[in-house]
Each structure stands twice: as C-alpha cells, then as structure tokens.
Amino acid sequence: MTDISRRDFIQVTSASAALLLSGLDNTVIAAPAKGYPMKKIGNIKNLVENEPFAFTYPDDQSPCLLLKLPNEAIGGVGPKKNVVSFSTLCTHMGCPVSYSQGRLVCKCHYSMFDVSRNGQSYQGLASQWIAQITLRFDAVTGNIYAEGVEGLIYGRIGNLKLR
Ligand code: FES
C-alpha cells in the first residue's frame, strides 16, 4: 500500500476535480504533478489505422503525431493498447520524421525509430530514441489526451523549455 501525504492527496483530488468540472472537453488543462499540460488530441473513433494525425505538444513549437497501430505497442493506450504518439523531430539533427510501416523515418540521414518499442532508434545516425508523448485514454468518451513526454525533444534543454 502506498503512503500519501495530506498535501499530495489535496493536490491529486484538486486536479481530478478540475478535470471532472471541465468535462474533459477543454483543449488544455493544467496537470500540476509533472508540470506538463494535459491536452486533448482527439477521439479514438476518428483514428484510422496507420494514418498519422499531426498535432503539437507540449507547445506550438513541438510537432508530434498520433498513431493507431495494428498491434499493441509499448506505452500504447486504448482498448487494444495500440495508440501511441511521438515527437516528429529526429534526435540526430532535428529533421522531420514521417511514419511508414511501423516506424518513423528520417530522410536526412536515414535514421529509423520503432513506434511499437518506445521510439527506439535502430538504424541510421540517430543514437537517441525519439521522444514519446505520454497519453491518457478516457474509456467513457474515447478521448485521447497528451499528458507528458518521455525522452528529450530535439533542440531543447528541457521539454518545457526552448533553447
Ligand atoms: S537528422 Fe535525422 S538522421 Fe540526421
């Protein structure tokens, strides 16, 4: 069993209450636990398998994509755990990557990242895994939210800070 302080309990319940009151429909809701915003990206019923949906997170300067894969993936959400999201900035020199057949491909120097394995770099000059967007799925509404980032977004000193 996990011990939780009174202060932590109040912070968690306050954040939960804010989400409930918002109806989970606002575009951006503060999520104070990690410092990342919670942002609604879309609804699972509108996603098409292997067709990426572009958005930005955690701010407008950070392009990302949302993917519905044919199979379960590490970090995947939804009933089949097959919805994942990544930054589209290559970790080598920041070129844009695109999705193709289960991987993100950078055409600048041919790096490839496995989208079913946390964005693992497995070919090319990029040695760092591409940043994965942490998702939350609302099973009642089908809405999908971004709520954090694992790994460093290219060109940043911190995911919430530009240079
Ligand atoms: S910028 Fe992507 S491999 Fe070099």
Q: Beta strand 83-87 with 63-68: parallel, antiparallel or unpaired? A: antiparallel
**pLDDT at residue 64, as a whole number:** 98
pLDDT in tens, 6-21: 444 444 444 444 444 3
Residue 155 within any structural domain of the chain: no
Residues with CB under 6 A from ligand 1: 90, 92-93, 95, 106, 108-109, 111, 124-126
Q: Which residues are catalytic?
A: 92, 109
**pLDDT at residue 36, as a whole number:** 95
* Cα(49)–Cα(163) distance, integer angstroms: 35
DSSP conformation class of 127: -
- Give the Å distance between the CA of 20 and the centre of ligand 1: 42
Instruction: From 88, 90, 130, give the residue whose CB has the most ligand 1 atoms within 8 Å, as the site to mutate.
Output: 90
Q: Where are the beta strands (DSSP E) in the chain?
A: 28-30, 37-43, 53-56, 63-68, 83-87, 97-100, 103-106, 112-114, 120-123, 132-137, 143-150
Give the ligand 1 atom nearest the CA of 124: 3
- CATH number where 130 lies: 2.102.10.10
Dihedral angle computed from the Cα positions of residues 124, 163, 38 and 79, in that order, rounded to the nearest 10 degrees = 0
Q: Beta strand 112-114 with 120-123: parallel, antiparallel or unpaired? A: antiparallel
Residue 70 within any structural domain of the chain: yes
> Residue 79: which of 40, 137, 124, 131 has the closest Cα?
137
Full residue range of the structural domain in which residue 141 is found: 6-150
pLDDT in tens, 99-131: 999 999 999 999 999 999 999 999 999 999 999
Residue 159 within any structural domain of the chain: no
Q: What are phi and psi of 44, to 5 degrees?
A: -60, -30
Report the nearest-CA residue for atom 3 of ligand 1. 109
Residue 66 within any structural domain of the chain: yes
Residue 1 within any structural domain of the chain: no
- What is the total count of domains within the chain? 1
pLDDT in tens, 43-97: 999 999 999 999 999 999 999 999 999 999 999 999 999 999 999 999 999 999 9
Number of Cβ within 10 Å of residue 59's Cβ equals 13
What is the enclosing helix (H) or strand (E) of 17?
Answer: helix 6-22
DSSP character string of 55-77: EE-SSTT-EEEEEE-SS--TT-B
Residue 158 within any structural domain of the chain: no
